[in-house]
Structure 1
Amino acid sequence: MIEPADKPPEFVEALAKGLAILQAFDAGHPEMTLSEVARRVGLSPAAARRSLLTLGCLGFVGQEGKRFHLRARIMALGSTFYLSARIEDLLLPELRAVVERFGDASSIGTLDGQDVIYVAHHTVQRARRAAAVVGARYPAYATSIGRVLLAALPDDLLERRLDALDAKPLTSRTCTDRAALHAELMRIRAAGFATTVDQLDYGITAIAVPVRDGNGQTVAALNSSGYTGIITPELLIEERLQELRVTASRIGQAMARYPILAAMLRS
């Protein structure tokens, strides 16, 4: 179970355990036994059992024999964020406009620890590759969105993130060397955009720019991606960079009108 760095006296361990269990289920672990859940979350079997039974009573977890699984009610938690942040009204129209102009796909994501979480996405692509669906999370170091967000961190926080990073090669082109990644992030910080080629998965070439709130703080990043071999970073810069910057500026203006959106995206 992930422990927060600073826990206030009011910290509720039981709630933290339940949330950790919900997050333990994923594409690679759609169903698990009690012992598997306990091992994956780092809890005793007794503690995991209590949480699973509670989550089951609330309708978030189901059980078939000895194996536990999520139930559809869990989707309500994500939809609550989606609706209260007004993703449909404020972000998706901008992504649709980007895709209508350039084709391919466009996403908005925010930083969560060492990962990027995609909060809005639109695409005309149908490729079988890593999907940037809403709610998907991927290692920040391997995505254009993630690199923009990492580059925007204060120096001390960035150094701590890089020191704690356990970068794995997701493709043969993934940059996992700390010094090389730091140098790339410094280049991104200076340039104000990031490009990636086959870093997260083969076939993905992307460009991303920061989305800033009314105080100039980077709270999210916007990207446009295409197929490697059809599109190049140079072409993305030439054809899409300026439009992405204009779109990011409009999103920032929307945040000024609806400040809670920036607060909800801020890491």
Structure 2
Amino acid sequence: MIDDRTTETTETSTGKVAGGQAAKPAEFVEALAKGLAILESFDAANPEMTLSEIARKVGYSPAAARRSLITLMALGYVGQTNKRFHLRPKIMTLSSGFYYSAQIDEVLQPHLREVVSKFGDASSVGTLDQRDVIYIAHNSVQRARRAAAVVGARYPACATSLGRVLLAGLSDAELDRYFDGLVIEPLTSKTMVDPVQLREEIEQVRKNGYSTTVDQLDYGITALAVPIRALDGRTIAALNTSGYSGMVDADFLVANRLPELRATASRIANALTRYPMLVSIIGS
């Protein structure tokens, strides 16, 4: 019989900061953290899982995972077919609440549509969350089957142009914490997996004020990103434009899109001055 009191020590994305374990406040609700970790465990590669698969993925005992799943099912966020669990449509209300309360459609989407109307391809805005970049706005005319940059998608920051710009915006101390114990999993044969080389790349991004990546996240993605800065100079988000590798290369994007992308980032930054709550949300 499984002991429900088993202590789970495996780190999850909940409660972690880049490079280490965040200190938990006295009021930290462990049960809520477990439930959120389970919701985050479902993705394109794992749209449905058994209890044991979920427990293994989040690092909890099956008993603890089962209690969270029962609660999430009762609330309508998780469903079950035979012995496999899956998300239910109600989960979309959580992300849509952020999208509309932060006025993403009003503030960011018009600028992304403008970028896409000029260059085609795709454009996104992302923010840093621990060691990942989260896409908070996206517009695209692309239909290729590849890593999706849809709103809410999250990918390793080191493998994206957005993420590298955001990492370049960290202080030296924050960047040290990011690299502390960092292990980079190769997503393609071109993914930069050497932390020393990546640190050098981030320093170059700081100097240049932009980042380019080619086939780092997925084959066929060449991207250029620039920072979006708050009034105090902090990098609070990043803006990119991307195209198909082979049809465009990094030099082409820099030569033909960088000036306009920087101008768009500046317009977004100016627009954000009218929405201090959005700055607080994405820059926290």
TM range (shorter): over 0.9
Q: CA deviation at 1:200?
A: 0.9
Q: TM-score by structure 1 length?
A: 0.97
Q: Is 1:90 matched up with 2:69?
A: no
Q: Is 1:130 matched up with 2:144?
A: no
- 1:47-196 to structure 2, matched below 5 A, reads 47-196=64-213
Segments of 4+ in structure 1 off by > 4 A? none
Map of 1:6 onto structure 2: 23
Counterparts of 2:272 and 2:122, CA distance in 1 = 22
- 1:82-138: CA deviations, max 9, x gaps? 001111111000000000001111000011111111111101111111111111111
SS at match of 2:272: helix
Q: Does the 8 Å CA contact 1:209/1:222 hold for their aligned counterparts? A: yes
- 1:199-228: CA deviations, max 9, x gaps? 111111111000011221101100001111
Q: CA deviation at 1:33?
A: 1.6
Q: Does the 8 Å CA contact 1:214/1:255 hold for their aligned counterparts? A: no
- 1:31-86: CA deviations, max 9, x gaps? 11222222211222221111111111111011112221111000000000000111
Map of 2:241 onto structure 1: 224
Q: Does the 8 Å CA contact 1:114/1:165 hold for their aligned counterparts? A: no
Q: What amino acid is aligned across from residue 80 of structure 2 in structure 1?
A: Q
| Paired residues, number | 267
Q: Does the 8 Å CA contact 1:210/1:248 hold for their aligned counterparts? A: yes
Please report the RMSD computed on the Cα atoms of aligned residues, expressed in angstroms.
Answer: 1.1
- 1:158-193: CA deviations, max 9, x gaps? 122112321122122211111111111101001100
Q: Percent identity?
A: 63
Map of 1:243 onto structure 2: 260
Counterparts of 1:210 and 1:184, CA distance in 2 = 16
Counterparts of 2:98 and 2:138, CA distance in 1 = 15
Counterparts of 2:58 and 2:187, CA distance in 1 = 24
Q: Pick from 40, 43, 55 the counterpart of residue 38 of structure 1.
A: 55
Q: Pick from 253, 271, 274 the counterpart of residue 257 of structure 1.
A: 274
Q: What amino acid is aligned across from residue 141 of structure 2 in structure 1?
A: V
Q: TM-score by structure 2 length?
A: 0.91
Structure 2 gaps, min length 5: 1-10, 16-21
Counterparts of 1:97 and 1:223, CA distance in 2 = 12
- Which segment is superposed worse, 105-114 or 29-38? 29-38
- 1:201-216 to structure 2, matched below 5 A, reads 201-216=218-233
Structure 1 gaps, min length 5: none
